[in-house]
Structure 1
Amino acid sequence: MTVVSDARLAAELAAEAGELLLLLRDAEAGTIDGRELGRKGDNASNVLLLDRLAAERPDDAVLSEESADDKARLTADRVWIIDPLDGSREYGLPDRADWAVHVALWTRGSGIAAAAVAQPALGAVYATDEVGAPPPAAGSRLRILVSDSRPPSFTGALEAALGAEIRPMGSAGAKAMAVLRGEAEAYVHAGGQWEWDSAAPVGVALAAGLHCSRIDGSELQYNESHPYLPDLLICRPDLADRILPQLVG
């Protein structure tokens, strides 16, 4: 039996979970409210991902947003960090495409070693083994993505200091992949996140050559005892020195 690489497995799992979420969304359209749809989607996607990981990588640990945190992962050498449905609010709203599935593998000594982000409503999967560099910037004005539900408190100051265009968007994965596609130059978050929110987007963004860090410029650390990782900057590497000084007071 051929064993697929970790990056290919991440891409396959993210795609499969995404297809399941699309089918569920279509089947439940108009029958339940958006919040309940998001809950059902989170649960169904989580079951699929856990089952597939148990079958394909039975010796690996898993940290999932939708499962109890087994602290045995702290001594494991390989930990899958998954967000079965990033942007459950957006998933539950009609005609929103800014939600995603995150699948990342953390390995001891290397950090995020493989990752994939699926955007099912766009028919897209981005993985560390296939992603390329973003296209050239479209113009001179910075386009910066922020959360549409929890924008950073310094958003107005950032807009003024950089002369930037601030664009709200759901899902951390959706925002990170928009930067990768060249639809924006940066994604900034400071409203609180967890490891599963950023692990896969950061893995893919790093593979594409983008800058990824905390807003103070420090390295993003994963598989920590308390998996809270509250802030994030993903941007084109040549812009990091311009943006970072505006993010810390």
Structure 2
Amino acid sequence: MPGPDEDLALLIGAAQEAGRIALRFWKRNPRVWDKGEEGPVTEADHAVNEALLRRLRAARPDYGWLSEETPDDPARLETEHQFILDPIDGTRAFIAGEDSFSHAIAVARQGVVTAGVVYLPALGRMFAATCDGAATLNGAVIEASRLPGIEGANILTPSANMKPELWPGGVPDLKRSFRASVAYRLALVAQGRFDGMLSFRQGWEWDIAAGSLIASRAGARVTDRAGRALRFNMAVPKADGLIAAAPGLHAALLERLQAAG
């Protein structure tokens, strides 16, 4: 059975292939379809998904498969390992010709992510980690922020998440920024460029699996919005929000979120 390092090497090669495919469509008016509440999808998403499906399943035919662009097969629930991926995370940014879209690809084993990559082909950035190794960017070790509390925090989160009704303990005074790709937000936290990220919406596993491992291995604390550990390959593959931040900041944010009204 391949270990995390072997799986990571496979994911890196697959992500590089995905990037080459995506860049053939980027800024070239790809065909776009609307998936309703799930947002838009492009012909590039489908092309990347098909290439990853062929490559990854050929290499690991006994691994389950969970992808945003493949109809879910409950057979994955009976497998020990699974691929969990978003062929293009940040599709709206991709359509707009922005460079912050990513490929997020992970392997999970018994509910825990063991290898993951977040690759931004337009920027040439490959974030990667295994469950027993360091988080890296293009092979160099990266570390998350060690900010001890809220003061001076720089957070990635949508503006809607700063509404007073969401913060029983008071809206924190912090600097807010945003990036379209959830996976990239997690990678930026891992890199220490931001102190944390918040998402209060239910999040699909394919958006968060790879990035959550990378941020965690970089030293951030990563949980759902209630502070619970994340579990993957669930029957309903969603997490109840997401908090990824420097440990001291994470604890301070959680206190504000859980304070009695």
- What TM-score do the two structures reach when normalised by structure 1? 0.86
| Number of the residue aligned with 1:176 | 186
Q: Match of 2:85, SS?
A: strand
Question: Are 1:53 and 2:64 matched, yes or no?
Answer: no
Alignment deviations for residues 33-72 of structure 1 (CA, whole Å, 9 cap, x no partner):
7979941121011001101012211111111110111101
Counterparts of 2:155 and 2:214 in 1: how far apart (Å)?
19
Contact 2:144 2:218 in 1 (8 A): no
Match of 1:39 among 37, 42, 47: 42
Aligned-residue CA RMSD in angstroms?
A: 2.9
Q: Match of 1:247, SS?
A: helix
* Shift, 1:183, TM fit: 1.9
| Number of the residue aligned with 1:21 | 22
Alignment deviations for residues 142-197 of structure 1 (CA, whole Å, 9 cap, x no partner):
1110147xx42647976x74320111221101111121222210100012321111
* Shift, 1:19, TM fit: 2.0
How do 1:176-215 residues align onto structure 2 when only pairs under 5 Å count? 176-215=186-225
| Number of the residue aligned with 1:64 | 67
Counterparts of 1:82 and 1:61 in 2: how far apart (Å)?
11
Match of 2:102 among 84, 100, 103: 100
Cα separation, partners in 2 of 1:156 and 1:119, compared to 1, 3 Å: farther
Identity %: 27
| Number of the residue aligned with 1:243 | 253
Question: Are 1:142 and 2:170 matched, yes or no?
Answer: no
Contact 1:154 1:247 in 2 (8 A): no
Counterparts of 1:208 and 1:41 in 2: how far apart (Å)?
31
User: What is the letter of the counterpart of residue 144 of structure 1?
Assistant: I
- What TM-score do the two structures reach when normalised by structure 2? 0.82
* Shift, 1:238, TM fit: 2.6
User: What is the letter of the counterpart of residue 143 of structure 1?
Assistant: N
Counterparts of 1:167 and 1:51 in 2: how far apart (Å)?
37
Counterparts of 1:92 and 1:34 in 2: how far apart (Å)?
11
Structure 1's unaligned 5+ residue stretches are none
* Shift, 1:140, TM fit: 5.6
Contact 1:147 1:170 in 2 (8 A): no
Structure 2's unaligned 5+ residue stretches are none
Question: Are 1:122 and 2:131 matched, yes or no?
Answer: no
How many pairs are equivalent?
A: 242
Counterparts of 2:56 and 2:32 in 1: how far apart (Å)?
30
Contact 2:145 2:245 in 1 (8 A): no
Counterparts of 2:22 and 2:164 in 1: how far apart (Å)?
32
